[in-house]
Chain A
Amino acid sequence: MNRFSLALHFVRRELHERYRGSFTGFGWAFLQPLLQLAIYAFVFVQIFKARIPGAGAPGYVPFLVVGLWPWIAFSDAILRSTTALQDNSALIGKVAVPREILVFAPCAAGFMLHLAGFIVILLVLALTGQGIRIQGIPFAILMYLPMFLYAYGAALCFAALQVFVRDLVQILGQLLTLMMFAAPIFYDRSNLPDRYQGWLDLNPFTGFVEAYRFLLLGHGNFGWGALGLVLAIAVISYLVGSWLFRRLDPHFEDFL
């Protein structure tokens, strides 16, 4: 209970901190992915003339939104949480804090902000007749839970390693970009030549993107087996992350 209220306090602090001193305040959480979306949509629709193959396929913009927005939440949360221990070194050196809370806070705060933005844009798209299924939105929100667990597990891992290897966060930025293009976010599985399509399953994020597409656009296939895989990825990530974190936890202060 105590730990819970402490976590709550840190999440609140994180939310405050992220937009303190910026004019647009919380609106920025919405504006930033929106801008990114506008750029990608322009490049892919106007320049590359991207289209999703198949009859009755969704338009490219809702297709991109449904994959890109959760990805931004995911990668943003991981990148910010990775430096969480380093950023709070002053606190860690002075007070005995449960340190996983320091990682939890930026991760959870990022997810909350981006989820709020996601819901808004989904509603806008649904109301403007872009083919978003409103009844799918609650399930899509539920899908954020395993995605959060996945991101949190990875964040625990990276935050712990970052204490020892300071260049990790730079490498991680590159790796996440690679992972983004290796997931079917900008394209569909069916865009790929047949022999490469199976490779997508090696990317753990693929399952999440296809789940959102299925739930929100009725596009593609997402069965119970795929759901089981997604949940397994989330749980394994969390278990590995917290094992590694607990293992290194007693030594953080020595290396910060």
Chain B
Amino acid sequence: MSEILVRAEGLGKRFPKSHRSSDRLRSLGRLLLGGGDVDGQQVLHDINLEVKRGESVAIIGENGAGKSTLLKLITGVLTATEGTANVYGKVGALLELGAGFHPEYSGRDNIAMAGALYGLNRSQIAQCLPGIIEFADIGAYIDEPVKHYSSGMVVRLGFAIIAALKPDLLITDEVLAVGDESFQKKCVRWMEDYLAGGGTLLLVSHSMYHVQKLCSRALWLQHGKVAMYGDVFDVSQAYLAWHERRQAAVASDHGVRASQEFEIVEFTVNGQDESPAPVLDIGNSLRLRVRAGSRDRRTPVVLFGIARADGTPVYGVSSEMDAVALEGGQSSVYCAEIEFEDIGLLPGSYMVKVHVLDSEGIRLFDTEERTLTVRGESREFGLVRLPHRWIRFVGEVNE
């Protein structure tokens, strides 16, 4: 199982200047005469990457970090300026949208075309066709030209083709983001089966949920360089942390917030006051503490909540629901602390939030969020581990 499928060594890419025609002519001359490198924009520097068969690697990073370029170099669509990229095995790639469909041709023709490009002969393509059409599930559109497709349909068809080809290495670039909910689920399920069956995946995604669900390792690209490479939870955590630091820097530039009736003074997660919160293992306890200022010395209501990184709420509870009065003491700052013993969240990315509401628990005044990563190995489904026990049951029924 340790066979290497992708090996990139010292990979670098520089895009030549190609906007003005004089630049194009100059590059042409240099290329023909073999006179050294073309000057231009360096988008990737010295990337080293090895992917073994059966591994799943996510490539994350902000827009323009070079993720798509890296994938294009690996698939051979682009040629590296420095270093080498080798792939050993059959590759199925969905780069950006469309997968190279010809807009004038029908879906059916494009399937035949993609199959031929993958190296199938006509009878093999004919064999795959019904499966692809069923997976894509775009109905009568299969005989329409692709230019009439919605972007979701294009991705459906592209993914269906890849799914039928069952490549050694699957490369997808932000594919899941376009499909609708049910198709996303179908794709994720297919990818999980594919990985379980020994498939290898290179995935570019901005959805940390998908990254953590599908990948075991992650590569974080920043300005064309590898910022971090390792376990998916560690890398995605560091990446989110970097984002929040950046956002915080932007927010603080906007000056002080106007004084409000109620505002959050401090929010700590397990004693730590900056985002992201410390990484938890399944079954750890979670302690949230907030100190909220009240201008008029009225007692605020505080609501704590946990949501999955994509926004799906997991649990929320307020001081008013549990009839807890916040302690104010002498000052105008009220404190609340809550503990979830054995948090029960399954591995993945979550958000913990605190909201401060007025004394009646109706108007919302202030909110803070922290990302939270739960690490661990689990094959359970869903968001939380519900308390459960198995009951011994021997098939016979009492009369």
Contacts and interface: CB of A to CB of B under 8 A. Distances in A.
Interface of A: 2, 5-6, 9-10, 13, 17, 20, 90-97, 161, 164-166, 244, 247-248, 250-251, 253-255
Contacts of A244: 32
Contacts of A251: 16, 27, 31, 38, 79
A211 B117 CA distance: 39
A83 to B, nearest CB: 15
20 contacts: A5-B116, A10-B116, A13-B105, A20-B104, A92-B77, A93-B77, A94-B93, A94-B95, A95-B77, A96-B75, A96-B77, A161-B28, A164-B24, A164-B25, A166-B21, A244-B32, A251-B38, A253-B78, A255-B16, A255-B27
B38 to A, nearest CB: 8
A94 B98 contact: yes
Interface of B: 15-16, 18, 21, 24-25, 27-28, 31-32, 38, 72, 75-79, 91, 93, 95-96, 98-105, 109, 112-114, 116-117, 119, 121
A91 B100 contact: yes
Contacts of B77: 92-96, 253
A95 B101 CA distance: 10
B24 A94 contact: no
Contacts of A91: 100, 102
A92 B116 CA distance: 15
Given A9-B112, A165-B21, A253-B78, A97 B28 contact: no
A90 B78 CA distance: 13
A5 B38 CA distance: 36
Contacts of A9: 112-113, 116
Nearest to A244: B32
A248 B31 CA distance: 7
A251 to B, nearest CB: 6
Given A93-B95, A95-B77, A95-B99, 5 more contacts: A93-B72, A247-B31, A251-B27, A253-B78, A255-B16
Contacts of A255: 16, 18, 24, 27
B204 to A, nearest CB: 14
Contacts of A17: 104
A2 B119 contact: yes
Given A164-B28, A165-B21, A250 B79 contact: yes
A255 B38 CA distance: 12
Contact of B102 (A90, A165, A250): A90
